[in-house]
Structure 1
Amino acid sequence: MVQKLLRRRFGVLAAETAERIADLPLERSEDLGEALLDFTAVTDLEAWLRQH
């Protein structure tokens, strides 16, 4: 679900980014689902993934 929401907001994600998201444990995926509401650019997503 998180990947669908991110694709809707930012379009097709880089394969590496999509893979990193797919590998997140459920709890982190849920955290990302909340955080993505504040993202304004794909760089926000990339920064979040680096921090988590």
Structure 2
Amino acid sequence: MKTDSIFYRLFQSFPSIFFELIQQPPQLANVYQFSSVEVKQLSFRIDGVFLPNSTELPIYFSEVQFQPDKKFYSRFFTEVLNYLDKTELT
């Protein structure tokens, strides 16, 4: 796992520093456990991406839903943002 080792070591050794930085009582560190966590990325599939031939035009993303999905918007925006993060747009 890749972490920013300086901050990891600081927060591991002196967790109260974090709470001081966010202007909270340093004693809060006593009720928290600090760790570095890896979040594995799920596979996402976008139903359709319309890429323009010109950089002046917007990209359109399409997603077709045939049933209710309470997490539709959070999932859809996650897919779009992952796409934009992983794609070289010129």
| Pair in the same fold by TM > 0.5 | no
In proportion to residue count, which structure has more helix? 1
TM-score (normalizing by structure 1): 0.28
Q: Which has the higher contact order (CA 8 A, sep 6+)?
A: 1
Structure whose alpha-carbon radius of gyration is higher: 2
In proportion to residue count, which structure has more strand? 2
TM-score (normalizing by structure 2): 0.20
